Chains A and B, each alone.
Chain A
């Protein structure tokens, strides 16, 4: 199993550009999430999905869109990049329900918006 994969690893955008961060998992997990990590802030939830076709907002959703057409894939779209979106982005997946242990995280995408 590859686990959770993310592409690209690094990306530099100019203000106003759009892009999609890719995330895929091969563990047949129902739950998938996107987090961003900023210095001293820990990881903050952007959007999450409890299954194909179902998504919802997390703590910091503004400026980001998601969709979940398959169980495996959960792309994150930046419609018009802003310098405040400079961050490291992590995708995560897990089985449904709590108390079953961990979420599995991808290696991250480091995004810089100039």
Chain B
């Protein structure tokens, strides 16, 4: 059973509008969450993270929101740009964590149309 789920396999957004990518988790031990971005034929690259002691973290156009009671987090991209088109993975980390291990969701493919 997947502990981290991204229920939308794909999302299409117009350039300049907001993109909202969602992620749900089931493991109550998860207390650190990350978003990774992946282009074809490349490895994932880190985008933004949030600790469970916060409910929001912002970095430029990217904001992650965490709702612990609902076990839900979301990534907002405003404004969306064509270069944001990629697969986005949500990942979670539990405490304790001997090897900095991450549990990933299945990914959401974002397409930003010019």
Contacts and interface: CB of A to CB of B under 8 A. Distances in A.
Main secondary structure on B side of the interface with A? loop
Contact of A106 (B4, B9, B43): B43
B25 interface: no
A114 B4 CA distance: 31
Contacts of B95: 98
A88 B78 CA distance: 31
B99 A31 contact: yes
Interface residues of B, number: 30
Interface size grouping (class) on chain A: 20 to 34
Contacts of A43: 44, 89, 91, 102, 104
A21 to B, nearest CB: 13
A103 interface: yes
B101 A48 contact: yes
B99 A33 contact: yes
A108 B100 contact: no
A105 B100 contact: no
A45 interface: yes
Interface of A: 4, 31, 33, 35, 40-45, 48-50, 56, 58-59, 90, 92, 94, 96-99, 101-108
